[in-house]
């Protein structure tokens, strides 16, 4: 080993010896700060009381700054109109009796003590919807050397909120949270909001509601019980409902069912399912209406989706009733009266051409002109000689009897053709009415569905 190794060993030994000498002094340093804090605490609270407002002049108002941070929307009870939030509430004020010189206490400029030891403003939530008495959070306050006190406390608030469901499920709500002093008027305690709105930096997104903002507004009100004004700060929570789940589960099935209902006019009358389809659609809409009524709070205004359901059910009811009437036209028997002249001209003529209701093999836009049923002609008795007893085998009197039988058969055939033609006209009239109401009710269902779905965009 050379001289360098000896010098290195000597320096390590000197450093170790210095650390050993400083170790007993470290507790003395840290303990000195603790002893100064204890001394400061004893000096500050020797003659301090938390029962009185901490101002040097009793005529001077104490300024309290309120800051709210929205952390989470726990629940929105629409039926009971109660909003439950998780908030971080910060209150700052100046205590005139809790000041000290930092140099006299080793540079100690702030201490943290239990909040129950200092005076605290009695600021509460005015529109509280909880039956329990308000409880103060047992958190510490930060006390600075100039008397500034900062109190940060978490709170779960249950506030009343008037819920307007007239535009459900595309509604937006405004819920106010009003904070103010319960016993101190504006001449004794003045409440101010820090910033123009509550903080949303630590907000946890909600699956049902989207937060648009939470602006703050200060008001000064005079109540009937007291003559002095009372200032308060109202934080208005702006909410918009996320309607995707309601559109998929409640609105979209109703739209599809409403578009299916007019197709009952397109079913053939001989299928026997025209009325059954309308009744089935009406029952399905009734089930969805009951599901909607269970999830909605009782209110004076009917929700938008409720209006849509009622309009759709009314439309389906009318379409089913018209289907029954049209089926009566379709099944008019041979004994029915002929189609009136005005119906033959307007419905079987112009309307049938406009709706392309045609017979098989007939081009669209042209309708077969209504045929007039030929009246049966009685046999001409003056064509031959008068009937009488005749014993000649080739006499014309025998041919006259044969002509009478042929005329009877011909008249019967003409009457049958006329009744059949009348029945066909009624069936064609039923097809025209089916096509006409199919277009009307399908257009109504499509327009109503589009008006509701546009609200989701």
Domain boundaries, the chain: 35-241, 247-352+407-456
Q: How many helices (H) and strands (E) does the chain have?
A: 9, 11
Domain 247-352+407-456 has CATH 3.20.20.150: no
Using alpha carbons, list the distances in angstroms from residue 126 to 93, 179, 180: 20, 6, 7
pLDDT for the residue 211: 96
Q: List the structure tokens of 202.
A: 């630590």
Q: List the structure tokens of 224.
A: 């009937």
Same fold, 35-241 and 247-352+407-456: no
pLDDT for the residue 66: 95
pLDDT for the residue 30: 42
What's the rounded Cα separation, in Å, for the pair 289 and 127? 34
The total of other beta-carbon atoms located within 10 Å of residue 63's CB is 12
Spatial CB neighbours of 382, under 8 Å, sequence gap ≥ 6: none
Classify domain 35-241 by CATH number: 2.70.170.10
What's the rounded Cα separation, in Å, for the pair 240 and 453? 17
Per-residue pLDDT of the chain in tens (457 residues, 90 and over written 9): 454 444 434 343 433 444 344 334 334 434 556 788 899 999 999 989 999 999 988 888 999 999 999 999 999 988 888 999 999 999 999 999 999 999 999 889 999 999 999 999 999 999 998 877 655 567 899 999 999 999 999 999 999 999 888 888 888 999 999 999 998 988 899 999 999 999 999 999 999 999 999 999 999 988 877 778 999 999 999 999 998 888 888 888 888 888 888 888 888 877 778 888 888 888 988 888 888 887 776 777 788 888 888 889 999 899 888 888 888 777 776 666 777 777 777 777 777 777 777 665 455 555 555 444 444 444 444 444 444 455 566 665 656 767 777 777 777 766 666 666 666 777 777 788 888 888 899 999 899 888 888 876 6
pLDDT for the residue 23: 36
pLDDT for the residue 300: 72
Rounded to two decimals, the pTM is 0.71
pLDDT for the residue 216: 96
Q: List the structure tokens of 183.
A: 């016993």
pLDDT for the residue 149: 96
Cα Rg of the chain (Å, integer): 47
pLDDT for the residue 169: 84
Q: List the structure tokens of 193.
A: 């909001």
The verdict on whether omega for the bond into residue 161 sits within 30 degrees of 0, i.e. cis, is no
């Amino acid at each position: 080993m050379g001289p360098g190794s000896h010098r290195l060993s000597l320096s390590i030994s000197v450093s170790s010896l210095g650390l050993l000498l400083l170790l007993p002094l470290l507790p003395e340093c840290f303990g000195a700060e603790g002893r100064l804090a204890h001394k400061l605490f004893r000096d500050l609270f020797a003659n301090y009381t938390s029962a009185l407002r901490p101002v040097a002049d009793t005529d001077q108002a104490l300024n309290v700054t309120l800051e709210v941070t929205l952390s989470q929307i726990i629940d929105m009870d629409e039926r009971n109109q109660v909003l439950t939030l998780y908030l971080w509430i910060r209150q700052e004020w100046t205590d005139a009796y809790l000041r000290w010189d930092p140099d006299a206490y080793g540079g100690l400029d702030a201490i943290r003590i239990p909040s129950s030891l200092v005076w605290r403003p009695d600021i509460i939530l005015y529109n509280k919807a909880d039956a329990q008495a308000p409880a103060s959070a047992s958190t510490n306050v930060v006390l600075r050397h100039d008397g500034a006190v900062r109190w940060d406390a978490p709170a779960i608030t249950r506030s009343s909120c008037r819920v307007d469901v007239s535009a459900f499920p595309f509604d937006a709500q405004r819920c106010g949270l009003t904070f103010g002093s319960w016993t101190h008027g504006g001449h004794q305690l003045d409440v101010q909001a820090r910033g123009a709105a509550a903080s949303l930096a630590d907000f946890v997104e909600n699956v049902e509601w989207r937060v648009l903002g939470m602006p703050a507004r200060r008001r000064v009100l005079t109540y009937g019980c007291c003559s002095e004004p009372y200032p308060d700060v109202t934080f208005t929570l702006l909410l918009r409902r996320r309607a995707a789940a309601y559109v998929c589960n409640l609105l979209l099935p109703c739209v599809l069912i409403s578009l299916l209902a007019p197709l009952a006019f397109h079913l053939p009358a001989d299928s026997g399912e025209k009325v059954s389809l309308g009744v089935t659609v009406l029952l399905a809409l009734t089930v969805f209406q009951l599901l909607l009524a269970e999830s909605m709070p009782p209110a004076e205004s009917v929700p938008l989706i409720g209006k849509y359901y009622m309009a759709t059910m009314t439309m389906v009811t009318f379409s089913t009733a018209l289907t029954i009437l049209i089926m009566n036209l379709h099944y008019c028997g041979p004994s029915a009266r002929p189609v009136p002249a005005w119906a033959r001209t307007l419905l079987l003529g112009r309307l049938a051409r406009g709706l392309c209701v045609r017979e098989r093999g007939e081009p669209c836009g042209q309708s077969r002109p209504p045929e007039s049923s030929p009246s049966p002609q009685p046999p001409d008795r003056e064509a031959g000689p008068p009937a009488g007893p005749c014993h000649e085998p080739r006499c014309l009197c025998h041919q006259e009897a044969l002509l009478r039988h042929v005329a009877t058969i011909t008249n019967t055939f003409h009457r049958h053709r006329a009744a059949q033609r009348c029945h066909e006209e009624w069936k064609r009239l039923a097809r025209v009415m089916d096509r006409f109401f199919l277009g009307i009710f399908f257009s109504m269902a499509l327009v109503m569905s589009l008006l509701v779905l546009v609200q989701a965009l």
